[in-house]
Structure 1
Amino acid sequence: MKINNIFFKKAAFMLLAALTAVSCTDDNDWTTDSSLSRLFGVKDNISVTSGDTYAEITFNYVPEATHYIVELSTDPLSDDVPMGGANALVYGEDESIKPQSGYTGVELTVHGLQGATEYYLRVKARSDHKTESRWVYYKEGQTFKTLAEQVFNIPTSTDISDEWVRLSWNTDNVTNILVQVPTDQVDDEGETILNTIRNITLTDEIKAAREYTVTGLTGSTSYIFTITNGDVKRGTLNISTAAPMPAGNLKYELPAMVTKIDNALLEELFEQAKELAGSDNASVTIGLQGGSTVELSTLSETNEVAGVKIPEGMSVTFFGMPGETPTLVVPKSMNIDGSHNFINFENLKITELSGANYLINQGKACNINDITFKGCELFGFGNTPFRLQGSDIKTIGNLTIDNCLIHDISHAGGYSLIHIDAGGGKGYVNNILIRNSTIYNVKAANARCIVQVKDTDMESCKFVNCTFRNILGGGRYFFDSNGTSKGTSTPVVIENCLFGHMNTKDTRGGRNKTGFEVINSYVTYEQDGCFWHEQAETINGTEFPKTANAIPGFDNLGKADTDIFADPDNNDFTIKDEKIKNMKIGDPRWLN
């Protein structure tokens, strides 16, 4: 132990002497290997904000650094990987990335990245008089991902048909278009698995045109179109093709120059359809060109404007072709005398012209299985779109209004929206269904009901997923069979509906022999309008009288509709209250 202590004391003395000798050099300074005079790194504080083909990168200023090198790569980066690999992008070798005067950080935006791609990132500092720093890695070697790129132009309605979609884009650097449809399966990350049904290789001519029409598609179908450059996605569109022309023995597209459908045209088309069907009962689908305005009228024997007559035995669908929704204008109500399997209106705007007041105002005998309005907007009628009147027997099997907007019906003559005043069974609609629709501004002072069936029995009436605002006149009913001895065989159903502001506080409930079934339907708190108060009550300080023939079963949301809808006074009924939106009530179009 003593010997060891002596040895260490001698060694320490010798080391001190050596250091003293070194300190006595001529330049009175250290002789230093320049490789040991290294810049500090940028620390682990690199941040990235991703774009589609770019990224905004920031990191701290390094003292004495004159510029920086930034490297990104789709391959992993480490100290063993040389700079500038095959899949790397290097920025700053021209000394362009410099500290910014007055800032403690460095900010730069790098371009030329690929969309929806994961990148590794590293940064080093350089100086004119010191050794460059070591690499510093983004999040200790993790990646960041760029956003999905979108080089597709957004298609308009004129770019989408039932059988084709016209695609266009804004770059030449693309190679393929994938056409995919979603499956009912999901991957490990919960994403829907797509089935590629077509892989289109883009020729140089197509690339130069920056446009391609994908044909052979199916109507009313959702497709995912992805444009790529090799394996890199450069844009994605989710497009639903237009509805195809409904079935018919004869399908006829109205030429663009034709602006009127009259009796002569209907009779001509019906003759062709009968020949194809080999029967005196045949169907015709008439397609109106997108964006067109077509008059539905004819001339009488005295050369006056008259309503068209659907030929006996003819079933007809008036159909709006893809593009801007066409408009069907009616100067005189149409004549549906006789027997018809169906009379349908689809994807149209329908309004009156020159005081017609009605679309259908049927007084003569008829027997029709189905009358349907689908995807239509009905507006501007002075009285009502649908009326059965007179003493002849008129029988309609099913009246369906689906996915429609109905508004600004004045009811100046005191009519209901569906008005059947041919009493005692002289006007008969077996089933009425209104679903996925919005009815608003049905608001003359003497406007009557949504549905009125005068002293007549019927099978059913249902309102499903509908939104209502500014409907009903004073002392009028939502549904009325002119008493409680007539009406539907089963209760009138009001399901998943939403009622906003009413025209007047003096509305009534409903009269029907089997009553009403209200399912998951709601009203808003309003100072005007109530047809559900079974007794007088005060809500939020406002007194409401007992409603005559109240319809029970509604829940009150306790809010004014201006607190629920985006802009109801300007007919925007988008539900802005997230809690109510999640309840999935009302017309589904306002839930998005």
Structure 2
Amino acid sequence: MKINNITKKVCLGATALLAAISFNSCTDKNDWDVDASYDRLFHTTSLSVTPQDDRVGIEFKKMPNTTKYIVEISTDTLNNEVAENANGKSIIKELTSTPDTIYDLQGSTKYYIRMRGLNDEGKTSNWKYLDKYSFKTKSEQIITDVTPGTYTADVAFKAGKQIDAAYIYKDKDSVKQDVTAAEVAAGLVTLRGLKANTSYKVKLWNGDVVRGTYSFKTNEAFPEGYQIITLSENDDINDIMANAENDKIVIVFPQGLNYQTPLDADGKNKVPTIPANIKSVYFWGAAGDNTPTFNVVGAKFDSDTNRGVIRFYNLNLVNKNKKDNYILNISGSNNIEAIEMEKCNISNTRGVIRFQSIKSECKVGKVSINNCVISNIGSYGVINAKDQTKMTLTDISITNTTITGVEAGAIINTKQAKLNITLDHCTIYNSVQTGKSMFDVNKLKDTKVIMSNCLIGPFYAADDTTIKGVSMKGQQDITSTFYTNDMKWNSGYEIGDELSASSTELWEDAAKGDFTIKNALRSQYQNYGDPRWIVVE
């Protein structure tokens, strides 16, 4: 009994002692201090970026007890030894959502980036960095358009984008032109001191960073020795030519003019008729965004004589529809030095150039078409000189041109001995009737078709029937030219090499006139065909 009592007393005493110790532990102050610098948030565990040209997409993982995230972007190195915005030039942004985007960066530039969290009590996390600490923006294109003149060019760019110089490149040479603050604000700089009809490249710089690149060609200058006459809406173009003081004239169609000849006594539009007193005439569209239109009604000569150059430049050349008239309708026996069409949109006409009723010997030196779009053409095609055996024609050249929707027996139909037909960098689609030939030489064995760097799509009203490339075998010289696999040829009359893609797989929307090469095939084929469809990366 005594032993049990003693045991109970010992246990009660121990319990009381433990309770006292426990009470003192809860009420006494710690013998050490807490370092407040370790009392911080956790930084994000994930940070990634998607660089563009003038911006960067940012994605990160949100963390507990964090209300916003501070992002610092700098062209100088960032690490834990560098204070925030140490160079005074950093971009500092507060983000609250993910993903997000930070703007106003420069293209082709290396940036360092870091992020830390912040809460409403002012606590922060350590900095979080990319694995490689930095990223590089893509090449930038702030240029939106270039409008060439003859000796100048207006370069439009995104207003307010900072640049300090434009460099103008020709071949291996370059010229610097300073850019003013007013030009930056307006988003427009005019390049000066250029040469006429010359190819250039312009680059807009800010410091050592290129912010935009664009290639262009200045307009032609008026030819020397020609009388320059500006046409107005109510003028009679025939009176202008008949009353000219010079036998070589340039008739200028102002920007935006939609010119139709006056009505004759029968209520029909007069035919533009080049009189005997005019040896050379340029029908010239003024430069700018609103290309003038000439409703041509089949321009012709009024008599047989020697002619120089007949040239159509920078115009929309049209008639009413593909059953209506021609652009140039030549009859009689005129010796012509050259017929030229450049930088024109030609459409809605029965034929482009037709030779007919030539009953005595005459000579045409060259017919050339360059940098044009030809569409919705009727049964006489682009050039028709069939049966005109009295005429000598030595050279036909079509370059840098798109031909689409030619509902004819041939794009070119000739019967002139020793004629060379040359096509280079052309895009041809939906042209030539079934069972016909793209180029009909009418059994003349000394006529040759030379074709290079062209792209060809299926012919007009394509079905299970076929066409010939050149009407006579062995009279073609074809290099670096390709046709889509939905183009159907007579066996042995193919032009070029077959692609493994159809027209819908090759072009963005050929049926609607968009012959941009689709991205999947761009690297292989975008340097073929009409260069106007090249995508500038």
Q: Which residue of 2 aligns with 1:222?
A: 200
2:385 pairs with 1:442: no
Kindly state the Cα deviation for residue 363 of structure 1 after the two structures are TM-superposed.
Answer: 2.4
Aligned counterpart in structure 1 of residue 371 of structure 2, from 403, 424, 438: 403
Residues 416 and 558 of structure 1: CA distance in aligned 2, closer, same or farther (over 3 Å): same
User: Structure 1 residues 301, 369: closer, same or farther in 2, change over 3 A?
Assistant: farther
Matched, 1:342 2:309: yes
SS state at 2:240 partner: helix
Q: Select 1:250's aligned residue among 223, 226, 231.
A: 226
* Amino acid paired to 2:362: K
Question: Which AA in structure 2 matches 1:182?
Answer: Y
Structure 1 match to 2:260:
295
Q: The residue matched to 1:589 in structure 2 has which SS? A: helix
Q: In the alignment, which residue of structure 2 is the partner of 1:492?
A: 449
Counterpart for residue 164 of structure 1: 152
Q: Distance in 1 between matches of 2:368 and 2:252?
A: 20
CA shift for structure 1 position 367: 0.6
- The aligned residue for residue 195 of structure 1 is 174
Match of 1:276 in 2: none
Residues in 2 aligned to 1:481 and 1:149: alpha-carbon distance in whole angstroms: 50
Give the counterpart of 1:367 among 311, 329, 335: 335
Q: TM-score under structure 1 normalisation?
A: 0.70
**Residue of structure 2 equivalent to 1:143:** 134
Matches within 5 A, 1:253-332: 254-255=230-231, 257-260=232-235, 262-269=237-244, 271-272=245-246, 283-295=248-260, 305-312=270-277, 314-323=279-288, 324-332=290-298
8 Å CA contact 1:41, 1:136 repeated in 2? no
Does residue 319 of structure 2 align to residue 377 of structure 1?
A: no
C-alpha separation in 1, matches of 2:85 and 2:469: 78
Deviation at 1:511, TM superposition (A): 4.4
Q: Tell me, yes or no, if the aligned pair for 2:66 and 2:117 is still in contact at 8 Å.
A: yes
Give the structure 2 partner of residue 12 of structure 1: none
Question: Structure 2 unaligned runs (5+)?
Answer: 1-20
Q: What is the DSSP-based 3-state SS (H/G/I as helix, E as strand, rest coil) of the residue aligned with 2:318?
A: strand
Q: Quote the residue 1:426 is aligned against.
A: 390
8 Å CA contact 1:266, 1:311 repeated in 2: no
2-side partners of 1:284 and 1:392: how far apart?
28
Quick one: distance in 1 between partners of 2:188 and 2:123? Answer: 53
Paired letter, 2:458:
H
**Structure 1 residues not aligned, in runs of 5+:** 1-19, 101-105, 186-193, 273-281, 535-550
For 1:63 and 1:523, the matched residues in 2 are separated by 61
Letter matched to residue 120 of structure 1:
Y
Q: Which residue of 1 aligns with 2:112?
A: 120
Q: 1:516 to 1:171 in 2, by over 3 A?
A: closer
Report if the CA contact (8 A) 1:378-1:407 is conserved. yes
Per-residue deviation at 1:366? 0.8
Aligned to 1:4: none
- 1:30 to 1:117, Cα distance in 2 relative to 1, 3 A: farther
**Count of matched residue pairs:** 505
Distance 1:86 1:329, change over 3 A: same
Is the Cα contact below 8 Å between 2:177 and 2:191 reproduced in 1? no
Distance 1:553 1:54 in 2: 47
Whichever residue aligns with residue 565 of structure 1, its letter is W
Encode CA deviations 1:426-451: one digit per residue, 9 max, x unaligned: 122111222332323222xxx43233
Query: C-alpha distance in 2, partners of 1:129/1:511?
Result: 86
Write the deviation string for residues 222-242 of structure 1: whole angstroms up to 9, x where unpaired: 3425375xx486953526254
Q: Does 1:470 align with 2:430?
A: yes
Distance 1:338 1:480, change over 3 A: same
Q: Are the structure 2 counterparts of residues 71 and 342 from structure 1 closer, same or farther at C-alpha, using a change threshold of 3 Å?
A: closer
- Following superposition, the deviation at residue 396 of structure 1 comes to 0.5
Shift of 1:50: 4.6
Q: Give the aligned partner of residue 6 of structure 2.
A: none
Cα distance in 1 for partners of 2:55, 2:454 equals 47
Cα deviation, residue 322, structure 1: 1.4
- State the alpha-carbon separation in 1 of the partners of residues 28 and 189 from structure 2: 77
Which of 435, 458, 463 is residue 501 of structure 1 equivalent to?
Answer: 458
Q: Deviations over 1:179-221 (max 9, x none)?
A: 2123666xxxxxxxx8342214446xx6776655444433444
Query: Structure 2 CA distance, aligned partners of 1:478 and 1:495?
Result: 15
* CA 1:307–1:393: 2 relative to 1, 3 Å: farther
In structure 2, do the counterparts of structure 1 residues 353 and 268 end up closer, same or farther at CA, with 3 Å as the change threshold?
A: farther
Q: Say whether residues 1:240 and 2:182 are aligned partners.
A: no
1:458 aligned to 2:418?
yes
* 1:108 positional shift: 6.3
Matching residue within 533, 536, 550 for 2:491 = 533
Which residue type is aligned with residue 394 of structure 2? N
Deviation at 1:348, TM superposition (A): 1.8
SS in 2 for 1:143: strand
Q: Which residue of 1 aligns with 2:167?
A: 180
The whole-number CA distance in structure 1 between the counterparts of 2:175 and 2:412 is 48
What is the root-mean-square deviation of aligned Cα atoms in Å?
4.3
CA distance in 2, matches of 1:303, 1:223: 47
**Contact persistence 2:316–2:344 (CA under 8 A):** yes
Helix, strand or coil for the counterpart of 1:461?
Answer: strand
